[in-house]
Structure 1
Amino acid sequence: MSNIVVFGAGGTAGSRISAEAVNRGHRVTAAVRRPEATSYLPPAVKVVTGDATSERSVRELAPDTDAMVVAIGGGERGLWLDAARSLVGALRGMPAAPRIIHVGGGSTLLTPRGTRYLDEPDFPDEYRDAAQGQADALDFYRSSADGVTWTYVSPPPLEFHPGERTGHYRTGGDQPVTDHEGRSVLSYEDLAVAIVDEIENPRHENERFTAAY
């Protein structure tokens, strides 16, 4: 059993990760800015006020924690980089520091041509700031996260929606995992399965992975 802190547990991804972890017997602390808005989380989830962009908040929640999941969203471009810097800054050098699991964007994955999906000319403008913000966070982990253990998790770049928990998925690296039709598809529920599997059995330390059916 692990002690897991989920920043952004009130969101679409964070709530499913929290539920998946609790259902497997892990201790989960939901660190959110508005605890009153998380009444739909399982009763076993402990809800506290927390902020992934605050080193002080991270340090307060870190003791006796095995993994810190960053599943935040809805902010401006700098939000995800601020969170990455905060967690790395707070945890670097800490004895028995928790591992960072950052739920990132699928648009940072590479097309068959080797370019990022977010750099494609038809990438929607309304998602560009968030996509670039997640890319900034990934670049930071890869270049500046020495002294901590991190994993960056990317869902499919397009077909990623709430749906069914099947418990099945396949993993890849910097390019989307595709089926026989060339589609990369995953539910939020099965992304949560993949993340909790990674916490239980680490296979992608200090690297990014993606998952799809």
Structure 2
Amino acid sequence: MSRIIVFGAGGRAGRRVVAEATARGHQVTAAGRREGADVTDADSVAAAVAGHDAVVSVAYAAGTASADFFPAAAKALVGGLGRAGVSRLVVAGIGTTLETAPGVAVHDAPDFPAEHREFSLGHTAELAVLRESDLDWLVVAPPPVVLGEGDGTGSYRTAVTTLVPAESFTYADFALALVDEATTPKHSRVLLAVA
């Protein structure tokens, strides 16, 4: 049994992560704005994560620019986990950062909408912060589709950095992958596609 803290526990993905981890018998702490935990503040993160084995972050602040929020959250998570002595961090990414060819992300396509590219680049900046850290981190990115609310299949495929095509994917299967990697890690310090 692991002690897991979930930042962004009140959102669609976060609720599924909490439910999945709890169903497996793990001790789960829900963290977010309602609980007074600020994922963009290293002191707040350090206080919240102390005593946990792993951290899952699916946090997002609507109304805050992606280029500001995601790198700030990554810096605070790196600093806070380091202070608290917690090394495993699993972060929800976005499928548009995955590569369709070596060095070419989905968001680099000529016809990719500019407003969505800006959001995706915030996730890219987050990844750059994590790559500079010493943490045992993983960014897990679902396919670039609207995630479904259904129960899911109970399984998923993975690839490192490369897009795994899929016409649909659910929050339930995304949560399954996030909890698997938080509790029984198979990947470290990479961008992992799941579909």
Q: How does 1:27-106 map to 2 (within 5 A)?
A: 27-34=27-34, 48-73=35-60, 74=62, 75-77=64-66, 78-92=68-82, 94-95=84-85, 97-106=86-95
Shift of 1:211: 0.8
Q: In 2, distance between residues paired with 1:193 and 1:91? A: 23
Equivalent residue pairs, number: 192
Q: In 2, distance between residues paired with 1:103 and 1:29? A: 17
Question: Any runs of at least 4 consecutive aligned residues in structure 1 with deviations exceeding 6 A, and if so which?
Answer: none
Shift of 1:113: 6.2
Shift of 1:94: 4.6
Task: State the superposition RMSD in angstroms.
Answer: 1.7
Shift of 1:53: 0.5
Q: Which residue of 2 aligns with 1:192?
A: 175
The runs of 5 or more residues in structure 1 that have no matched partner are: 35-47
Q: In 2, distance between residues paired with 1:71 and 1:123? A: 24
- Relative to the length of structure 2, the TM-score reads 0.91
Q: Which residue of 2 aligns with 1:109?
A: 98
The runs of 5 or more residues in structure 2 that have no matched partner are: none
SS in 2 for 1:6: strand
Q: In 1, distance between residues paired with 2:81 and 2:9? A: 20
- Relative to the length of structure 1, the TM-score reads 0.83
Shift of 1:117: 1.0
Mark the structure with the bigger radius of gyration: 1
Amino acid at match of 1:57: S
Q: Which residue of 2 aligns with 1:42?
A: none
Task: Deviation per CA, 1:108-140: give whole Å up to 9, x if none.
Answer: 101136411112222223323221111110122
Q: In 2, distance between residues paired with 1:187 and 1:99? A: 24
